[in-house]
Structure 1
Amino acid sequence: MVSRNARIAVSALVSGALVVAPLAPALACTSVLLPAKDGGFVYGRTLEFGLSLKSQIIVVPRGLSVTGTGPEGDVGKGGLVWTTKYAATGANALGLPILLDGVNERGLAGGLFNFPGFAEFQPVPPGKGDRSIASFELLSYILTSFATVDEVKAGLPQIIVSGVKLAAFGNMVPPVHVSVHDATGKSLVIEYTHGGKLNLYDNPTHVLTNAPEFPFHLRNLAQYQYVTAAVMPPLKVGTTSLAAASSGVGMNGLPGGFLATARFVRAYFAQANAPQLPTSAETVGLAFHIMNGFDLPPGSIGTSAAAGGEGGGVDGFETTEWTSAIDLKNLRYHIRTYENQDVRVVDLKKAAEGLKAIRFIPLDQKPVVRELVP
């Protein structure tokens, strides 16, 4: 359950002076985890990018043999071979059979988030290519191999995650970090940094955005202990009482803008103060409403091919390509896209039944506009 007093725990974790770190450019993906009274959880996130990822829904069956990408860089060749233990569904990118975001049949869910300037993956020793996968295959491996956060923590050190350039990604290494949540509400952040060091961070906030590294986000969040959704009393100035002209004064200190550091703080307080609804099915709608606060207006963030991994290395601007809400209890993956704001859903239990190969489901359906007056 997401504690309303979690900011106290965060402060204890990160007590001490704020360490100065470089602020990352806006790479505006944001995620939260919401509890329901029936014991379920809903994971919501937005996906923003400059490069069009042309996402589809994919359904991966259990019992499928998968070959990871080895250090030579041939996608789906030369790497670790594993058999999928769990079926999974979610959104892919660039026509590839990989998950950017998704859930498996044990209620383990998560997503890849852009992490340029900080991600550094593991070198592959000679002859060890068959133990390796590429960074962009990391979530697919996790969701098809593990049932819980604890299993992820035990299993990931056993493989090598390498930095392989991807032609469809501007011939760059996709610089990602990962957020993972299980059906009990445990959350984990996975980051490969500093020459390929694997960092596994328990995540008491259940929130993730982009760079810098996760510990910086915790230190930064500790500065906002004064923020509250409560009604604030008027300010007393001598015998004069000064009341705010509008409601919401307790949230007046939240950071604005599109930087990942600012979005992390806003997402934490939006999640921590959200009402807890009776069921996870009802919480899906709440997740979409919260994620509305992170929808990126087109033209707000420009991207440059000269800047490298920011926005996928293209000239243009970032948009919210899609927003998802995953019901971890009922195993239902909901998504809406930039072109079509209608919510579409895949029921994993139904979609994986009898499936023998990866299924691709397009997201190019036309939106339905209903005439209210005949």
Structure 2
Amino acid sequence: MCTAATYKTEDFYFGRTLDYECSYGEEIVIMPRNFRLQFLNMGVCESHYAVIGTAHIAKGYPLFYDAMNEKGLCMAGLNFVGNARYFKNAPDKDNVAQYEFIPYILGKCADVNEAKELISKINITDTPFDEQMPAGQLHWIIADRNSAITVESVSDGIKVYDNPIGVLTNNPPFDEQMFRLNDYMHLSRKQPQNNFSDKLELKTYSRGMGAIGLPGDLSSQSRFVRVAFVKANSVSAKGETESVSQFFHILGSVDQQRGCCEVKDKEYEITIYTSCCNADKGIYYYTTYDNHRISAVDMRKENLDGNELISYPMITEEKINYQN
């Protein structure tokens, strides 16, 4: 289970939590402009936009979980189990395998409008990366500093939704996630007034009572509502440090702690990592479950005209600052 969000101050930010019970050896990976992308059905792409994100490298190929390109377009895949449907090759479509979708879009598109145009021609196929790695059941959020969309490949084809809140979790489908916000239109950052009855003298007894009813469980629908509310009411200074800090606080509202979500006997889903991309500056920030210190990789400090993947292992051990 995962949560993704956008945020904008002076710069545009994008990131996600990855919630799962185990890691697959993900790294911070930079795909430079001349890395040779061999697609199953779409030929070879010798030159493309540079991309940075979290990925598992398998057989020299970057299997991206989330990423941004040098133009500021961002994308993340989130679990969509039970609803995602992929197809066999279609003769009248650009057939892109599920695992190729992120590098295909981010390699070719500079903004959301270009992504929409490309997606209109695409059929997402069910071809697995290999026998040990079946196609993941995902849907995607794609965003730039001006807009966001959600893309879902379901039984009746690809759906593209405008995403005005800039948030995505897992199930149900995105249109149902958005509709659920109607149930929470009464929530407020302000203290509530007594609308219950003019015959009762009801009073507030604590700060934060305007948000009473905001769901606190770990279900994907509740996480969607919670992050949507926190993001919509979020205030921070416009500097880089303040913006990045605030973004991690937004996604921190849906952190999963070991022990609260048991998926199998003595196996627990946790927030393995949280990412925050400054899409304007090309900086990828992250924290991990056991390391709350923010680490960063700046794609513009690398040779983006290279042809080999550049990778940095995630720093996963806690770094405690002793002051005495």
TM (norm. structure 2) is: 0.91
Q: What's the CA shift string for 1:6-64, capped at 9, x where partnerless?
A: xxxxxxxxxxxxxxxxxxxxx2x11221121x3x2211321111242221010001133
2:256 to 296, 312, 322: 296
Please tell me whether the aligned partners of residues 35 and 306 of structure 2 are also in contact (alpha carbons under 8 angstroms). no
Point out where structure 2 has 5 or more consecutive residues left out of the alignment. none
How far apart, CA to CA, are the structure 2 residues paired with 1:270 and 1:181?
19
What's the counterpart of residue 174 of structure 2?
214
**1:188-227 alignment, distance < 5 Å:** 188-195=149-156, 197-227=157-187
Report the alpha carbon displacement of residue 159 of structure 1 after superposing the two structures with TM.
3.4
How far apart, CA to CA, are the structure 2 residues paired with 1:303 and 1:175?
17
How far apart, CA to CA, are the structure 2 residues paired with 1:87 and 1:152?
16
What's the counterpart of residue 31 of structure 1?
4
Report the alpha carbon displacement of residue 364 of structure 1 after superposing the two structures with TM.
4.0
What's the counterpart of residue 187 of structure 1?
148
What's the counterpart of residue 334 of structure 1?
285
Residues 251 and 80 of structure 1: CA distance in aligned 2, closer, same or farther (over 3 Å) = farther
What's the counterpart of residue 89 of structure 1?
52
Residues 282 and 83 of structure 1: CA distance in aligned 2, closer, same or farther (over 3 Å) = farther
How far apart, CA to CA, are the structure 2 residues paired with 1:117 and 1:365?
31
Q: What's the CA shift string for 1:155-207, capped at 9, x where partnerless?
A: 12333321123558x65321111111113x31011110015x11111111111
How far apart, CA to CA, are the structure 2 residues paired with 1:315 and 1:62?
43
TM (norm. structure 1) is: 0.79
Report the alpha carbon displacement of residue 236 of structure 1 after superposing the two structures with TM.
7.3
Report the alpha carbon displacement of residue 361 of structure 1 after superposing the two structures with TM.
1.3
Residues 161 and 354 of structure 1: CA distance in aligned 2, closer, same or farther (over 3 Å) = same
Runs of 4+ aligned residues of structure 1 deviating over 6 Å after TM superposition are none
Across the aligned residues of Structure 1 and Structure 2, the Cα RMSD in angstroms comes to 2.4
The one-letter amino acid paired with 2:4 is S
Report the alpha carbon displacement of residue 352 of structure 1 after superposing the two structures with TM.
3.9
Please tell me whether the aligned partners of residues 59 and 352 of structure 1 are also in contact (alpha carbons under 8 angstroms). no
Residues 85 and 255 of structure 1: CA distance in aligned 2, closer, same or farther (over 3 Å) = same
Does 1:361 find its partner at 2:312? yes
Please tell me whether the aligned partners of residues 190 and 198 of structure 1 are also in contact (alpha carbons under 8 angstroms). yes
The one-letter amino acid paired with 1:182 is D
How far apart, CA to CA, are the structure 2 residues paired with 1:270 and 1:42?
15
The one-letter amino acid paired with 1:233 is Q
Report the alpha carbon displacement of residue 341 of structure 1 after superposing the two structures with TM.
2.0
Please tell me whether the aligned partners of residues 41 and 280 of structure 1 are also in contact (alpha carbons under 8 angstroms). no
The one-letter amino acid paired with 1:323 is T
Count of aligned positions? 322
1:140 to 100, 103, 116: 103
**1:203-282 alignment, distance < 5 Å:** 203-234=163-194, 241-282=201-242
**1:38-187 alignment, distance < 5 Å:** 38=10, 40-68=11-39, 70=40, 80-93=43-56, 95=58, 96-125=61-90, 131-166=94-129, 171-183=133-145, 185-187=146-148
Please tell me whether the aligned partners of residues 34 and 305 of structure 2 are also in contact (alpha carbons under 8 angstroms). no
Report the alpha carbon displacement of residue 274 of structure 1 after superposing the two structures with TM.
0.4
The one-letter amino acid paired with 1:175 is Q
How far apart, CA to CA, are the structure 2 residues paired with 1:278 and 1:360?
30
How far apart, CA to CA, are the structure 1 residues paired with 2:241 and 2:322?
27
